[in-house]
Amino acid sequence: MIQELFSLDERVALVTGAASGMGRAMALAFAAAGADLLIADINVAGLSATAAEIKALGRRALPVPCDVTDIKQIRAMFARLDSEFGRIDVLANVAGPGQLAKPEDIDLALMADVIHGLTVARFCCCQEAGRRMLAAGAGSIINMCSIGGVSALGRGNFPYSVGMGGVAQMTRELSTEWSGRGVRVNAILPAQVINPGLEARMKADDQLEARFLSGIPIGRLGRPEDIAGLAVFLAADASSWITGALIPFDGGNLALNAGGTPGPSA
């Protein structure tokens, strides 16, 4: 009975950013829970590798190269979904632009690109999935957001944080519009999860990891595979009364008051 609540048997999931990191980890977790998958990314070699891992778990994987900032490519991806699977039960919106820039310096064209990628194009994925899920009367949408979408980071994350603020509010609005018709919409708010970009930034600045860790009471950075349980929970019936939630995935970061310092009491 409890296992059934976490089962994705006979369900179809679409995961973007599935070639690496959290998107790959979510796709593999969905497959392990029984789902068949359409996986999308701009990294074609990484996508094939994830597809092979899903097939090794005994599930169907359709890799579709797609730039999720391009509306035409998003619509073509959903057309492939219709012709190959004919349904969608779970959408995980993971990939998105992450350029850094200081607010006093940022070029407005870059600002517009990031906002387009994170809010307009991300919304297009929600809209395409939402229309199909509303017609079926069921579905779960999981938006990858960020601690930067609900709090200020102040490290030149400006365009990204503003875009993620849009993702947070999109999640609340879509949940409120759609959950009464069977479509749940939730978001995940990660703090620092190790990926190649973060590793390069920590290599370039040997103080950076310590600065990140001073905001993470649990005492370590996240790892992509940490997301597996939360992803399956949000996708499956286990979370059937949870919608419109922005769920911290952050080792305790958002609970920490800016004046607080994790560690033993003096």
H or E element in which residue 127 lies: helix 121-136
Closest contact distance (angstroms) between CB of 9 and ligand NAD is: 26
Whose Cβ is closer to ligand NAD: residue 43's or residue 179's?
A: 43
Closest contact distance (angstroms) between CB of 48 and ligand NAD is: 12
Whose Cβ is closer to ligand NAD: residue 179's or residue 195's?
A: 195
Distance CA 148, CA 88 (A): 29
Whose Cβ is closer to ligand NAD: residue 5's or residue 218's?
A: 218
Residue pair 141/129 in contact (Cβ under 8 Å)? The answer is yes
Residue pair 220/213 in contact (Cβ under 8 Å)? The answer is yes
Catalytic residue among 160, 178, 212, 233: 160
Both tokens of 135, joined, read 């017609």
Where along the sequence are the contacts to ligand NAD (CB under 6 A)? Answer: 16-17, 19-23, 41-43, 46, 66-69, 94-96, 98, 144, 146, 190, 192-193, 195, 197-198, 224
Residue nearest to ligand NAD (CB): 21
Residue 71: CB atoms within 10 A of its CB come to: 14
> How many angstroms separate the most distant Cα atoms in the chain?
62
160 is catalytic: yes
Please tell me the number of Cα atoms within 13 Å of 232 on its side-chain side. Answer: 20
Distance CA 258, CA 247 (A): 19
Q: List the beta bridge partners of residue 61.
A: 37
Closest contact distance (angstroms) between CB of 166 and ligand NAD is: 12
Closest C-alpha among 149, 138, 85, 72 to residue 114: 149
Closest contact distance (angstroms) between CB of 195 and ligand NAD is: 3
Whose Cβ is closer to ligand NAD: residue 178's or residue 212's?
A: 212
Residues that are catalytic: 160
